[in-house]
Structure 1
Amino acid sequence: MTSAFHRRPDLLAAGVREHELRRRLRTGELVRLRRGHYLSEAPTGPEQWHRARALAAAHEMAADAVLSHVTAAVLHGLPAWDLPLDRVHSTRPRRSGARVGRFAHVHAAQLDADEVVEVDGVRVTSLARTLADIGRSAPFEHAVVVADAALHRHLVTRGELDAAVARGARRPGNPAADRALRFAAPGSMSVGESRSRVALHVAGLPAPVLQWPVVTAGGAAVGEVDFAWPRQRCVGEFDGRVKYGRLLFPGQDAGDVLFAEKRREDAIRDEGLHMTRWTWRDLADFAPVAARIARRLGPTSHTG
């Protein structure tokens, strides 16, 4: 986000009169972020709004406070799928003093010097500490989505995640963080693929190979599938609209991409692979999809 941040006292000190301030708000030249805080341009989505609020709040927090949890994840550029963004989260390195207000959630916890980094000029928890905090406080699926994205973008290593969890061994929720971060994997390329992995796991299906390349008997590349069980010749694809948007070339429309995708799917099936597809809507009730995959995997497909 490139929108400039302004505080009311600074604008008045620069010579902007009250009526001029009201006019700029009325015409949209300024956008109210919160009382006394303005932006020169409206953010484009919930995560960008949260980021703007966090940067504004950072200048008014206690000197020892560090932005953390989902707020740190947003500042690190990670997806905050379905995580509440109504409060700015921060952590103070003390044993007590945690509080939840209308716009702020202040946590009290030990915070080592190497667990603090600077992003956009403000202090935030390191990526590994951020993911461990989210793992301790958010549902499993939500924590996996954020951690998958960090691993896929090579922003954090498995060793760093293990160390972050080990440091918090005595903190509430640490076993949950351990489960979520151990499950996280670098092969998921989107929120939908991460949620799909969780759905497959909850259904008791064997862990798939992620981003599996399909080749012909002669060695020619056919394409890459999101999920695969190579031994059973079974593959799966999560279909999100964003995926097709990413595949568009100049001059192409969605129909061109869908036609190309149909040809790709036919080529995959020609290699004797059984394909199952699912969408965002299927993730809300994954049982029918899981049953189709289980039938194709055979009688020993369930791991539970």
Structure 2
Amino acid sequence: MGGAAERREVRQAGAMARPPRVPAQLAFLPFSARAAVAKGLVTRSMLRGPAWRRLLPDIYVHRDGYREDDHRMWCDAAALSLPSGAAIGGLSAAYLWGVHLLPRDAPVTVLVPGVTRPRPRLRVRYTLAKLSPGDVTRFGGLPVTTPLRTAFDLGRRPPRTEAVVAVDALLNRRLVKRAALTDYLAARPGWPGVPLLREVLGLAEPLSESPMETRLRLLLVDAGLPVPTAQYDVYDGRGRFLGRVDLAYPRLRIALEYEGDHHRERAHFRHDVARLNDLRAAGWAILRFTADDVLRHPARLVAQVAQAVRERLPSPGHQMR
């Protein structure tokens, strides 16, 4: 008898220790507490327990779906309480379109039509903006500015370098065409930031494959050096393909390479060594730069490139194009 009683107690204790079942609709994605309670999926008292995380007023997520730095989770949460006609925009819209330029802990950018900005929320930044129906679409169920409107907004926002970085990235991923963005801009001449976007379009390079390549190119241009050619294919005298370089001055046979973290992978490193040896054998000068060079030592970087250009100019009167 004693053994049977003990087994019952163990079963009862196990049942009490099991966490409550989480409805499938609430397992991973943010949800409106008001709506979930109305449907009988959860109670207010349950939401006060450790299994749930409050993201925004009335918006919760189960602890298994909570990721502090998951911008998509915060976009999902913000979308559940958007004002009428509002949409996710700016760098948050770019993120949803696959262009990741957000700093860590960046708030969700929400564009709100009208004249009254909602109260600010933790991890959500509201911005008043004109939004026509054609400026907004849906992505993964979320209202988001179209790639064209996203490029228009980011290209008007200083600083200039970051505006060019954003437009380059959207052009490179073929989310936007330069001609379409030019036409969109021409139809809105009086909007704030339009002069900056005009300058950005003059500097934009659809072939730029990373933000750091864009920053490197702008450093050279701003220093008065010739505009380098992006993603240049190099061939030897027999027409054999030697490799593609990030930036180049083809007539001077100078290649400029940005070394990101992917270059440290063993297979990529070996390929780079062979490629750079072939380029040097073909008479190319190779200058390699890191994020530290671009961000912390720009003057030294420019001086090194300028010295390489001077050394390779055939004569003082030579005009390089």
TM-score (ref. length: structure 1): 0.82
CA distance in 1, matches of 2:172, 2:129: 28
C-alpha RMSD over aligned residues: 2.8
Cα 1:102–1:20 change in 2 (3 A) is: closer
Aligned partner of 1:249 in structure 2 is none
The question of whether the paired residues in 1 share the 8 Å contact of 2:88 and 2:143 is answered with: yes
Decide which of 23, 29, 51 is 1:4's aligned counterpart.
29
Decide which of 58, 78, 81 is 2:79's aligned counterpart.
58
The question of whether the paired residues in 1 share the 8 Å contact of 2:260 and 2:291 is answered with: yes
Aligned partner of 1:259 in structure 2 is 270
1:152 Cα deviation from its structure 2 partner: 1.0
CA distance in 1, matches of 2:106, 2:317: 42
The 3-state SS of whatever aligns with 2:66 is coil
- Alpha-carbon deviations, 1:226-275, whole Å to 9, x = none? 0010011111000000x336xxxxxxxx3443233222211111110111
Deviates more, 1:65-74 or 1:143-152: 65-74
- Alpha-carbon deviations, 1:214-236, whole Å to 9, x = none? 11211111111000100111110
CA distance in 2, matches of 1:149, 1:42: 29
The letter for the 1-side match of 2:219 is A
Pair member with larger Rg = 2
CA distance in 1, matches of 2:170, 2:318: 30
Aligned partner of 1:200 in structure 2 is 220
Decide which of 166, 177, 190 is 1:146's aligned counterpart.
166
CA distance in 2, matches of 1:183, 1:142: 12
Decide which of 285, 303, 307 is 1:291's aligned counterpart.
303
Aligned partner of 1:122 in structure 2 is 142
The question of whether the paired residues in 1 share the 8 Å contact of 2:185 and 2:194 is answered with: yes
CA distance in 2, matches of 1:69, 1:9: 29
Aligned partner of 1:132 in structure 2 is 152
Decide which of 286, 293, 305 is 1:275's aligned counterpart.
286
Cα 1:302–1:131 change in 2 (3 A) is: farther
The question of whether the paired residues in 2 share the 8 Å contact of 1:67 and 1:90 is answered with: yes
1:100 Cα deviation from its structure 2 partner: 6.8
The letter for the 2-side match of 1:288 is R
1:83 Cα deviation from its structure 2 partner: 8.8
The letter for the 1-side match of 2:307 is R
Q: Which runs of 5+ in 2 are unaligned?
A: 1-26, 311-315
The question of whether the paired residues in 2 share the 8 Å contact of 1:211 and 1:227 is answered with: yes
Superposed, 1:24-173 pairs within 5 Å as 25=51, 31-35=53-57, 36-39=59-62, 40-43=64-67, 45=69, 48-49=70-71, 51-82=72-103, 85-92=106-113, 94=114, 96-98=115-117, 101-103=120-122, 104-173=124-193
The 3-state SS of whatever aligns with 2:65 is coil
Q: Which runs of 5+ in 1 are unaligned?
A: 246-253
Cα 1:175–1:208 change in 2 (3 A) is: same
CA distance in 1, matches of 2:141, 2:266: 44
CA distance in 2, matches of 1:302, 1:19: 76
- Alpha-carbon deviations, 1:137-182, whole Å to 9, x = none? 2311111122111111111101111122223311122111221233
The letter for the 2-side match of 1:295 is Q
Give aligned pairs, total: 284
Cα 1:205–1:76 change in 2 (3 A) is: same
Deviates more, 1:125-134 or 1:224-233: 125-134
CA distance in 2, matches of 1:218, 1:175: 47
CA distance in 2, matches of 1:177, 1:83: 26
1:23 Cα deviation from its structure 2 partner: 5.3
Aligned partner of 1:251 in structure 2 is none
The letter for the 2-side match of 1:125 is T
Aligned partner of 1:240 in structure 2 is 260
CA distance in 2, matches of 1:232, 1:264: 18
